[in-house]
Each structure stands twice: as structure tokens, then as C-alpha cells.
């Protein structure tokens, strides 16, 4: 079991670092195929793994001055509210099959949405962000948190798209800032899961599954970051679209 989870972590770290996304979209659909975990247990394991990974990343990014703290403390608490509410109040009413179908639908929707993002024509950089747009981004942050707390997929997919539209977040700070926001998202989701469930039944999953996932992901993400520049932005986008759609179909049928 340890080796299977470690191997999955290696794949997650490599693909995630090359495509610039969180590992939750890979962990939650695939982990139940390699282990005896239920879909709900996989959600918690994924959130705990993402929390450790984004915390390590954020500390590193902070040292290099890559994190936009204004965006982190503006949107981070909103994602925390969304993820905490979803994990504590919404998740108990979802069966494992409900989670499966919801996850598959979200993956498919996001794959189709990225088609528009990847192939749309560039219209130049955004020079301003109106207050009404910030309210909309705040709403998106809540939605990102809810999906993260419910499905365990992290909020990076939504946050990265959102931060592109904010002129005071530089392009090279989008991914680091997204990591910083996800520290809020995943911490409060994990806390809600621990409060809602018996700790003695949940915490062993961290030792048995989360740590091997993190170990594998950290070991291969270094190589992924080294080679990701060899692929163009459009190529990475196309790979992401195919990956999301394939995972969606696999999740629907599993």
C-alpha cells in the first residue's frame, strides 16, 4: 500500500509541477483505485497532502518575494470560509457516489472551460480592477473554497484563472500567490473534517497515505519544475484539457 501511494505521489508531483496545478485533481479520482479508501476518506487525504505541499511552497516563495500578500489576505479567508462550511456542513449529506458524480462533473466543466482559455485570442494586459469585479472575485473565492472542502481538489484551478484578471498581481506571482491562498483553504477544510469526524479514525490516514503522497510529490516536482519551461503555455494547456476530460470520464465510469 505504501509503495502504491508513493508511486501515485511521484506521478502527481511530476504532472502537477509541469502543468502548474494542485495535485488534488489527480489524487481524489485515482487514490480510491490504488487503496481501500472511500471517496470521502480520499478527500481528506488529498486536502492534508495539498496543505503540506502548498505550505512548503509558500514558505519558499515568501523568501524569494514572489507572494502577493494583499491578494492572499483578501481572498484566502474567503476560501477558508467556503472550504470549512463545505467540509463541516455540506459533505456529510453527500454519499460517496454523490461525490464521485460531482467531482466528475467539475472536472469535465473545467476541462471544457480551459478550451476557451487556451485558444482565445490575447487582448492585452488588464490595467484596472473595478470594485464590482473584486466582489465577483470574492464570490469566486468562496466557490473555490466550497469545491475544495467538498471534493478535495484544492482551489488552484479557479484561483489561477481569477488572479490573471487582477492587475496588481504580477504574472510571475500568480502561482505563488495561489499557493498562499490555498494554505487558508486546505487548513480550514482539514480542521473542519477533524472536528466533524473522530480524530482517531481520520488521523491515521495522514500517516498511511498523506505522507507517502507528499514524499513522492516532493521528490518528482523538482524535476518537473526543471523541464516545464520546455513546453509552451498552449501545449501545457492542451495537456491539462485532455487530462481533465480523461479523469472526468474515468471518474464517471468508476
Assess contact for 233 and 117: CB atoms under 8 A.
no
Q: How many domains does the chain have?
A: 1
Q: Using CA atoms, how far apart are residues 15 and 223, in angstroms rounded to an integer?
A: 10
User: Is the pLDDT assigned to residue 191 strictly greater than 90?
Assistant: yes
**In this predicted model, which residue has the larger pLDDT, 73 or 169?**
73
Residue whose C-alpha cell is 505522507:
211
**Whole-number percent of the chain with pLDDT over 90:** 46
The whole-number average pLDDT for the span 87-116 is 92
Mean pLDDT check: name the lowest of 23-27, 56-60, 102-106, 166-170.
166-170
Q: Which residue has the higher pLDDT, 20 or 173?
A: 173
Question: Which of 254, 253, 16, 241 minimizes the C-alpha distance to 107?
Answer: 241
Q: What is the CA angle 140-56-156, rounded to 5?
A: 20
- Inform me whether the pLDDT recorded for 119 exceeds 90: no
Domain assignment of residue 61, given as a range: 2-253
9 and 217 Cβ atoms separated by less than 8 Å: yes
Please give the average per-residue pLDDT across 13-40, as a whole number: 83
Q: Is the dihedral of CA 236, 237, 239, 243 positive or negative?
A: positive
Residues 6+ apart with CB under 8 A from 163: 71, 169, 174, 177, 178
What is the model's pTM? 0.88
| Percentage with pLDDT > 70 across the chain | 93
Q: What is the pLDDT of residue 126?
A: 46
Distance CA 196, CA 41 (A): 13
Which pLDDT score, from 0 to 100, does residue 101 have? 95
Amino acid at each position: 500500500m505504501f509503495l502504491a501511494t508513493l508511486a501515485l505521489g511521484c506521478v502527481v508531483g511530476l504532472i502537477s509541477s509541469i502543468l502548474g496545478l494542485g495535485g488534488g485533481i489527480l489524487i481524489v479520482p485515482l487514490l480510491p483505485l490504488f487503496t481501500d479508501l472511500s471517496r470521502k476518506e480520499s478527500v481528506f487525504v488529498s486536502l492534508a497532502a495539498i496543505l503540506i505541499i502548498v505550505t512548503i511552497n509558500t514558505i519558499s516563495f515568501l523568501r524569494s518575494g514572489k507572494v502577493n500578500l494583499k491578494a492572499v489576505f483578501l481572498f484566502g479567508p474567503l476560501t477558508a470560509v467556503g472550504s470549512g462550511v463545505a467540509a463541516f456542513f455540506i459533505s456529510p449529506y453527500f454519499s460517496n457516489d454523490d461525490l464521485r458524480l460531482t467531482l466528475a462533473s467539475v472536472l469535465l466543466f473545467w476541462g471544457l472551460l480551459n478550451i476557451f482559455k487556451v485558444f482565445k485570442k490575447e487582448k492585452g494586459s488588464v490595467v484596472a480592477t473595478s470594485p464590482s469585479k473584486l466582489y465577483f472575485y470574492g464570490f469566486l473565492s468562496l466557490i473555490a473554497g466550497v469545491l475544495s472542502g467538498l471534493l478535495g481538489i484544492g482551489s488552484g484551478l479557479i484561483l489561477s484563472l481569477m488572479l490573471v484578471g487582477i492587475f496588481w498581481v504580477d504574472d510571475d506571482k500568480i502561482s505563488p500567490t495561489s499557493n498562499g491562498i490555498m494554505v487558508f483553504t486546505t487548513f480550514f477544510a482539514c480542521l473542519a473534517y477533524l472536528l466533524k469526524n473522530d480524530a482517531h479514525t481520520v488521523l491515521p490516514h495522514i500517516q498511511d497515505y498523506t505522507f507517502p503522497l507528499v514524499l513522492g510529490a516532493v521528490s518528482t516536482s523538482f524535476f518537473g519544475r526543471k523541464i516545464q519551461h520546455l513546453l509552451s503555455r498552449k501545449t501545457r494547456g492542451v495537456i491539462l484539457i485532455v487530462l481533465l476530460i480523461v479523469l472526468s470520464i474515468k471518474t464517471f465510469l468508476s
